[in-house]
Structure 1
Amino acid sequence: MNQIAQQRKLLNISQAELAGKLDSGPSRISNFEASIRKPNLKTCWMIVNALNELGANCTFEQVFPNPKQNSNETI
């Protein structure tokens, strides 16, 4: 699960504001936040960069944590 919504809320910005930085629509951000759609790697980086341009100080791993990190699964 991603942390887009949490980072966006810390900045007090709307989905539309984040979407505007990505030249996208707010429904796309909504779908990513709800895990209805999964962004590809390039889009993930674009989201992290946009959040940082809007004032966040976040890393890729904070927005898109490793799903296996807290799992007992082996790779």
Structure 2
Amino acid sequence: MRSRCNVFAYMAQLNPSPTFPVLLDQHSQVAHAFGVMDIPTTYLIDKQGLIVRQAVGGRDYDSPAIRQTIEALMR
């Protein structure tokens, strides 16, 4: 329960705050299912639910290339 409180306390400090769901994988079940080895790991999922991009490590999600990729997936 303590890690859950830590996550939400950290998220409350972010500006802007996340507009997407944050997964709390306390027993690493999802991490194992997706093969996550490092944090952060980001997946871009298309409208059919398929993983089309995976990024390990931090990224600048405001970069033109990444924004273009995300916007294309949203169409």
TM-score by length of 1: 0.26
Based on CA coordinates, which of the two structures has the bigger radius of gyration? Answer: 2
Quick one: higher RCO (CA 8 Å, sep 6+), 1 or 2? Answer: 1
TM-score by length of 2: 0.26
- Choose between structure 1 and 2: higher helix proportion: 1
